[in-house]
Structure 1
Amino acid sequence: MKNLILAWLRLLFSCVLASSLLSGCNNLTQYTLSEQDVNAYLQKHNDFSKNIGIPGLANAHIVVSSLASEIGRAEPDKVRLSGNARLNIDTLFGSQQADAKLTLQAQPYYDKSQGAIYLKDMRLVDYQVRPADLDTTFRALSPYLDQSLKSYFDNTPAYVLDANRNKNEAMVKKLAQGLEVRPGKLVIPFG
């Protein structure tokens, strides 16, 4: 009986040890960026400011701020951004200002040579404009905004790995093999 109990305790100890070793392997096989990591980077590094519209008919200067990410939640393998936009609109009827809440969606992509994550094929999926009477004007401008945001995010990273910020990020740049989108995080597996 005593030998049976000792054998059972050894087996239990071995299982616990193996489990703890395997759970620690995640740090050796992948690097994870949370929504908070991406949001902090977006707040510091992405300043979208652009003139859009049809010259002489409807022009707008737009500044997008307060971007926040939602990774893999609304749609698998996609990143959604929400943010605020401030618009100064000039039309044939005069100048007006508007505020908008934007919802954008994109496909994240990891560029290994730069150690950067891009949000490719960005598109505007929803908006709310205040004052509401500018909704028609904003709708007319939205294709230009959509194209401008797509171009901006295709060429401006949403996150760049930096060896100076974190020694793990230096290793990630060397070992990274693609990008996976999981609810609430981006995972960079190692090769």
Structure 2
Amino acid sequence: MKKFFWGLSALLLVGMLTGCNQLTQYSISEQEVNQALQKHNNFEKQIGVAGLVDAHIVLTDLSSKIGREEPNKVTLSGKATVDISSLFGPQHAVMLLTMKAQPVFDKDNGVIYLKDMQLTDVQAQPEKMQGALNTLTPYLNQSLKDYFNQKPAYVLSTDRSKAESLAKRFAKGLEVKPGELIIPFTN
């Protein structure tokens, strides 16, 4: 009988600790971040090098990997369609992009930014366009960095859930774990 009560006590303790975790932090999954990133699909930018080339770029298919490839970083992948007008005539290409950023929580506004976005890999399709697109990459990199420094990747809402409302009010920072962002309520 004592073993039964010890087992029941241990089970209750584990249950309480698991339940308390929800009271001390709020987790945002990769899936939730990816859904929020859909708002950033169709980011458009006109980039040009005076007299040489003019490119219209549209970013789509954004998805994130949180803390999986590099600790405390978010890795984004996406596709950019590029329509180029140059001295050689119009051309069309697709850029497969990989980017890394530092997630930063703005407690006052209840938003998460992806700061210091950096392109880490750019693959051109068709491959023969790689050289031309490499000249546009620094401009695209700066445009994406500016965009994500100003536009939040995720916004906490007091309307969605009580837990999100608590996170917005009592957040003490942001932690990056593989596959999720954690907003702790205590230090």
TM range (shorter): over 0.9
Q: 2:145 aligns with which of 146, 150, 162?
A: 150
Unpaired segments of 5 or more residues in structure 2?
Answer: none
Q: CA deviation at 1:95?
A: 1.5
1:38 to 2:16 alignment: no
Residues of 1 paired with 2:56 and 2:40: CA distance? 20
1:46–1:158: 8 Å Cα contact kept in structure 2? no
Q: Secondary structure at the match of 2:149?
A: helix
Q: 1:127 aligns with which of 110, 122, 131?
A: 122
1:168 to 2:163 alignment: yes
Root-mean-square deviation (Å): 1.2
Please say which structure displays the higher CA radius of gyration: 1
Further displaced range: 116-125 or 159-168: 159-168
Residues paired across the two proteins, number = 186
TM-score (norm 2): 0.95
2:99–2:119: 8 Å Cα contact kept in structure 1? yes
1:102 to 2:97 alignment: yes
Residues of 2 paired with 1:112 and 1:27: CA distance? 19
Unpaired segments of 5 or more residues in structure 1?
Answer: 1-5
Cα deviation code 1:160-181 (max 9, x no counterpart) = 0011222321111001111111
1:90 to 2:85 alignment: yes
| Letter of the structure 2 residue corresponding to residue 7 of structure 1 | K
| Letter of the structure 2 residue corresponding to residue 187 of structure 1 | I
Aligned twin of 1:190: 185
1:84–1:99: 8 Å Cα contact kept in structure 2? yes
TM-score (norm 1): 0.93
Give the fraction of aligned pairs with identical amino acids, expressed as a percent. Answer: 52
Residues of 2 paired with 1:83 and 1:113: CA distance? 29
Q: 2:71 aligns with which of 68, 71, 76?
A: 76
Cα deviation code 1:83-112 (max 9, x no counterpart) = 111111122222111111111110100000
Further displaced range: 139-148 or 166-175: 166-175
Residues of 2 paired with 1:150 and 1:118: CA distance? 11
